[in-house]
């Protein structure tokens, strides 16, 4: 597989990044991905109790990953975190020697300066050309252009990955990572064809042995069809989730015209934790990409990376 600026920037062998999935991007998964030559990512609350101490939990997760791999890994932070909490989490990164951070769910203007002053390499998740230009202007090192196929929170403009990525590539000079709807070597080759220098995958890495996600969540991905996900919460901000009992109830509430305030009351805190960590589709939701229909088995994280690396040359050869 080709080496790109992403490989050089992150110190990895292959331009593949594991998504920073909120509740399930745990240390064991990140370490396994990184040991395979890609970049693993830890979420501060992966596997954590709902009312847990996110700062101390992240510290423990980082130390666990360091005990499992000597390869680089990253941490995903939300730009929506309160500043005091964000600063404490950054303190964990610098204190523990983590050098790379991905930032999602907010403006790059808020924390990029703080992260760069701390000496961190910063990748920011964006969902439009306008967002990419702003991120580059704020000094991020690369952008992750995430299309509407991706699991979890998505952009308001609903741009698909293969529409978004080439337009971002044509606009910015920094490296662009493609995310959303990628799970195998074919998707990676397609992303490279439109100018991306790396890919980020979330859902494919949920369905791995090392991921802390509940077995029912993993099984739900494996059993999903091409129409196995739905987009909910457009009044609040769209999210792509695995279809299930509670999600059906949410969609019914939305169809009846519930206001944003009513939806917030209905959703409550911790619904995604119930779906992803507790495996309760009757009372929770699980963020999941539209690519779920292509995932047919639970394998090791190393096998995911290897299958892409080994398959990439075959895909490219078929195009000649």
pLDDT higher than 80, residue 269: no
Tell me: do 260 and 307 sit in the same domain: no
Spatial distance between the Cα atoms of 3 and 27, rounded to a whole number of angstroms: 26
User: Could you tell me what percent of the chain has a pLDDT over 70?
Assistant: 100
- Pick the closest to residue 77 from 25, 119, 32 (CA basis): 25
Tell me: do 193 and 67 sit in the same domain: yes
Average the pLDDT over 160-180 and give the result.
98
pLDDT higher than 90, residue 235: no
pLDDT at 221: 97
pLDDT higher than 80, residue 118: yes
Do strands 239-242 and 152-153 pair parallel, antiparallel, or not at all (unpaired)? antiparallel
pLDDT higher than 80, residue 38: yes
Tell me if 301 sits within 8 A of 32, measured CB to CB: yes
Sign of CA dihedral 212, 123, 173, 135: positive
Tell me: do 163 and 61 sit in the same domain: yes
Tell me: do 16 and 155 sit in the same domain: yes
- Its domain, for residue 308, covers 5-212+297-318
pLDDT at 148: 94
Q: How many structural domains comprise the chain?
A: 2
User: What are the residues whose beta carbons fall under 8 Å from the beta carbon of 51, sequence distance 6 or more?
Assistant: none
Tell me: do 182 and 49 sit in the same domain: yes
Spatial distance between the Cα atoms of 131 and 145, rounded to a whole number of angstroms: 9
């Amino acid at each position: 597989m080709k080496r790109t600026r992403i490989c050089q920037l992150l110190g990895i062998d292959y331009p593949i990044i594991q998504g920073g999935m909120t509740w399930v991007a745990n240390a064991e998964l990140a370490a396994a991905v990184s040991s395979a030559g890609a970049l693993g990512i830890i979420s501060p609350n992966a596997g954590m109790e709902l009312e847990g101490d996110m700062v101390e939990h992240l510290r423990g997760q980082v130390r666990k990953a360091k005990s499992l791999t000597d390869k680089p890994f990253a941490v995903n932070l939300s730009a929506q975190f309160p500043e005091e909490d964000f600063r404490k989490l950054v303190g964990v990164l610098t204190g523990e020697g983590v050098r790379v951070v991905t930032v999602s769910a907010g403006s790059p203007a808020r924390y990029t300066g703080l992260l760069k002053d701390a000496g961190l390499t910063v990748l920011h998740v964006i969902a439009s050309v306008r967002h990419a230009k702003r991120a580059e202007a704020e000094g991020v090192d690369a952008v992750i252009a995430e299309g509407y196929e991706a699991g979890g929170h998505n952009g308001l403009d609903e741009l698909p990955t293969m529409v978004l990525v080439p337009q971002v590539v044509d606009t910015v000079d920094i490296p662009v990572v493609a995310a959303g709807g990628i799970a195998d070597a074919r998707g990676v080759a397609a992303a490279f064809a439109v100018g991306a220098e790396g890919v980020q995958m979330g859902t494919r890495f949920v369905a791995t042995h090392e991921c802390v996600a509940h077995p029912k969540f993993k099984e739900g991905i494996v059993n999903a069809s091409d129409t196995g996900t739905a987009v909910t919460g457009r009044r609040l901000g769209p999210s792509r989730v695995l279809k299930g009992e509670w999600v059906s109830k949410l969609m019914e509430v939305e169809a009846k015209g519930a206001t944003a305030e009513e939806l917030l009351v209905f959703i409550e805190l911790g619904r995604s934790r119930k779906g992803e960590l507790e495996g309760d589709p009757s009372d929770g939701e699980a963020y999941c990409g539209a690519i779920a229909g292509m995932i047919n088995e639970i394998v090791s994280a190393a096998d995911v990376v290897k299958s892409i690396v080994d398959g990439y040359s075959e895909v490219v050869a078929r195009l000649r």
